[in-house]
Structure formats: C-alpha cells, structure tokens
Amino acid sequence: MFTGIVTDLGTILELEKRGDLRARIQTQYDLTTVDMGASIASDGVCLTVIAKGDDWYDVEISAETVSKTNLGTWEVGRRVNLERALKVGDELGGHIVSGHVDGVADLVEMVDEGDSTRMVFEVPEELAKFIAPKGSVTLNGTSLTVNEVDGCRFGINVIPHTKEVTIWGQAKVGDRINLEIDTLARYVARLKDFA
C-alpha cells in the first residue's frame, strides 16, 4: 500500500524488452534499506525490486501492466514519480493507494491560475463514474483532489511545491497518465450494484 505522496524523482537508466519489459531506475533512496522483492510505486504502478546497485534498482513489467498503463511509453532519461511502500506507523498524508492502475487518463487542458496550474483530464467512460468532486484520484502516483467533474472530464490543481518535487512540472497537453481511482469509490459503486 502507498499514500500517493511522492518521495523521490527517479530516472529511467535502461529499458530492455525480453518476454516482459525490464527497467533500471536511478533513485536517491538508500537502497541498503530496500529489500529484494520490495514494492516501489513507479509513476503509480506497484513494481517489485528484482536487482539493485548503489543508486539504482531493476523491475520487470509484465505485458499486462504495459497494456493497462503508460509504462510502454517510458524512454531512457525519463523522470518518474517514486514512492516506497507504507510501513506501520507512517503518516498517511494522501489517501490509500494500491499501486494497481485502473486505466490511462489523457491530459487535455492546462491553464495557469496564479502560481498553480489547473489540469483537465479525460478518462474512459467506465472509470468516469468513480470520480467525484472533492474526491481523491491517483495520477502517475500522486494523490490529488478533484475540483470538478464534467462527464468523462475532471480537473485538478497542481500547486508549485508539487510541480517542483514530482514530474508534474514537466507535464504537457497530450500526456497519457496512469490513473488509479479511489478505493472507497470502487467499493461504494460495487455495493450499489447489490442495492
């Protein structure tokens, strides 16, 4: 489990297509404290550490994950949002995040509002019903609050701090973004099916 509070910006060092996609990610994490088999959310996708060095770790990404996320668009040199898994007693600063991406959202509008940037995303219809004003979403591993919803579109604001410490400072219209809907919204919608 994660919180959607990004704690490092990693860099893709290597990509290798085998049966699956293997990636090497550079990080500032102290990798002596990261066990083999540990989970690290990378742009919101829970990935397993399979090898590591002084300042990098390797992950394998299944074809299923590539097909459901934006990880197939990763390139060497790309920056990625990173978050280590929660430990008992950690502060829950964002919201409960599983690292299991539900789909991809398209960034369709960006407008500066003061020092912040309002971003509008479009999502597939089957996911739009889970997104509510003032609810939470996880976008590329970042816990964000929804401002408004209009059909399959919703808006969020990104403050300067978030733009500085995550990949959101490099965002541009046309980007495809990993989306994880709020776990609570998923269960509420499921219960409605049985009401």
CATH class of the 8-84 domain in this structure: mainly beta
Report residue 87's pLDDT band, with 50, 70 and 90 as the boundaries: confident
Cβ(23)–Cβ(15) below 8 Å:
yes
pLDDT reported for residue 33: 96
Residues β-bridged to residue 56: 26
3-state DSSP assignment of residue 131: coil
Q: Is the pLDDT of residue 163 over 70?
A: yes
Mean pLDDT, residues 182-194 taken together: 75
Task: Provide the CATH topology of domain 103-193.
Answer: Elongation Factor Tu (Ef-tu); domain 3 (2.40.30)
Q: Same topology for domains 8-84 and 103-193, yes or no?
A: yes
What is the helix (H) or strand (E) element at residue 24, kind and residue range? strand 21-26
Q: Which amino acid is at 10?
A: G
Q: Is the pLDDT of residue 192 over 90?
A: no
Nearest to 157 by CA among 94, 114, 106, 108: 114
Characterize 17-30 residue by residue with b for buried, 16 or more Cβ atoms within 10 angstroms of its Cβ, and e for exposed: eeeebbbbbbbebe
Average pLDDT, the chain: 93
How confident is the model over 19-58, as pLDDT tens digits? Answer: 899 999 999 999 999 999 999 999 999 999 999 999 999 9
Residues 6+ apart with CB under 8 A from 40: 29, 34, 46, 47, 49, 57, 59, 82, 83, 84, 85
How confident is the model over 62-83, as pLDDT tens digits? Answer: 999 999 999 999 999 999 999 9
Report residue 195's pLDDT band, with 50, 70 and 90 as the boundaries: low
Q: Is the pLDDT of residue 165 over 70?
A: yes
Name the residue with tokens 């990798």. 31
Residues β-bridged to residue 51: 58
Q: Could you tell me the residue ranges of all domains in the chain?
A: 8-84, 103-193
How confident is the model over 91-124, as pLDDT tens digits? Answer: 777 788 889 999 999 999 999 999 999 999 999 9
Angle at 50 (CA atoms; ends 46, 53), nearest 5 degrees: 110
Cβ(53)–Cβ(63) below 8 Å:
no
Q: How far is CA 29 from the centre of its chain?
A: 18
